[in-house]
Structure 1
Amino acid sequence: MTGRRLTVEVPMRWADMDAYGHINNVNLVRMMEEARIGAFGVPGGTGLPRVDPAVDLFSRVGDDTQTLVVEHRVRYVRPLDYRNVPAIVDVWVSAVKPATFELSYLFRDPVDGHECVRASTTLAFFSAVDERLLRIPAEHRDALREFLGDPLFT
């Protein structure tokens, strides 16, 4: 299955680097968040976006709905060396379930193009009022399925 992938650029900051000159693993999770927001938008009720996302899926949830991270998976294929240019990240939807969905990320070195990191994030919508997970509304499921592609992890 090959869905539509979004490609975003995520800046690498000097402070993201570890003693070996690689992007530190903790900072890579922050970069996953930046890629997710760059691709699909700022979650509703969390402030104004800095830039327009490639596709606005998250800001259309209700004000009392939170978009929460359920799980991250990260596989380091090779070091992502610090560069003074943004990393290239492909982002797509790799699973849609009744109450959760998964995004996959493929990080590439912006200079030599090598694959560096494969990662995924499972997300869910949560009602702040009712304090429970919500089923994904039909319009969001349909929008997510436009980007549905193969998972990185099986």
Structure 2
Amino acid sequence: MGQDNSRNGNERIEVLVPMRWGDMDAYGHINNVQIVRMLEEARIGAFGPPKGAGLPGIEPKVSLFNAVPDGTMALVVDHKIRYVRTLEYRNVPAVVQVWIGSVKGASFDIHYLIQDPVTGEDCVKASSHLAFVDEATGRVQRLTPEQKDRMAPYRH
């Protein structure tokens, strides 16, 4: 699952995300709205589901979202998506590489590369800006040293 795919030695997490028949648009491509769903599935596969979301399943590569204190939410602040080429529907999962980008005092970026599982071509380059928020107050929480340490091997 974790592979070293970068020149500087930082690791990327590889997640296989299924493409569903209903994800296609009229042209046979994966619809842009479904790409956001695929990013979410890759993010959860790499860094864990939010705490309290369903029963335990396969352990993520890095326990980040499921290792926060009670009452803490991991919220997406912003998405940026660049469609490099169309992602054709395939009856096999897409390959999504995931890694950490910028880490600030109270927020961080997750980057994604979605590749066609048949041709290996890059199809989507994206990033999500996230922050941890106190559920009761709505205030952004600073990242802890432990959270930063968990992200460090996957930071580019």
Q: CA RMSD in A?
A: 1.1
TM-score, with structure 1 as normaliser:
0.93
Hey, what's the Cα distance between the residues in 1 that align with 2:9 and 2:50? 26
Q: Which runs of 4+ in 1 moved over 3 A?
A: none
1:66 aligns with 2:45: no
| Post-superposition offset of 1:130 | 2.0
Hey, what's the Cα distance between the residues in 1 that align with 2:74 and 2:60? 16
Q: The residue matched to 2:154 in structure 1 has which SS?
A: coil
1:99 aligns with 2:106: yes
TM-score, with structure 2 as normaliser:
0.92
Which deviates further from its counterpart, 26-35 or 56-65?
56-65
Q: Which amino acid aligns with 2:109?
A: E
Q: The residue matched to 1:125 in structure 2 has which SS?
A: strand
Q: In 1, are the aligned partners of 2:110 and 2:129 still within 8 Å (CA)?
A: yes
1:24 aligns with 2:31: yes
The correspondence of residues 1-154 of structure 1 with structure 2, limited to 5 A, is: 1-149=8-156
Hey, what's the Cα distance between the residues in 2 that align with 1:73 and 1:147? 19
Which deviates further from its counterpart, 130-139 or 40-49?
40-49
* Alignment coverage as a number of residue pairs: 149
Q: Which runs of 5+ in 2 are unaligned?
A: 1-7
Q: Which amino acid aligns with 2:92?
A: V
| Post-superposition offset of 1:45 | 2.8
Q: The residue matched to 1:146 in structure 2 has which SS?
A: helix
Hey, what's the Cα distance between the residues in 2 that align with 1:101 and 1:27? 23
Q: The residue matched to 1:80 in structure 2 has which SS?
A: coil
Q: In 1, are the aligned partners of 2:105 and 2:143 still within 8 Å (CA)?
A: yes
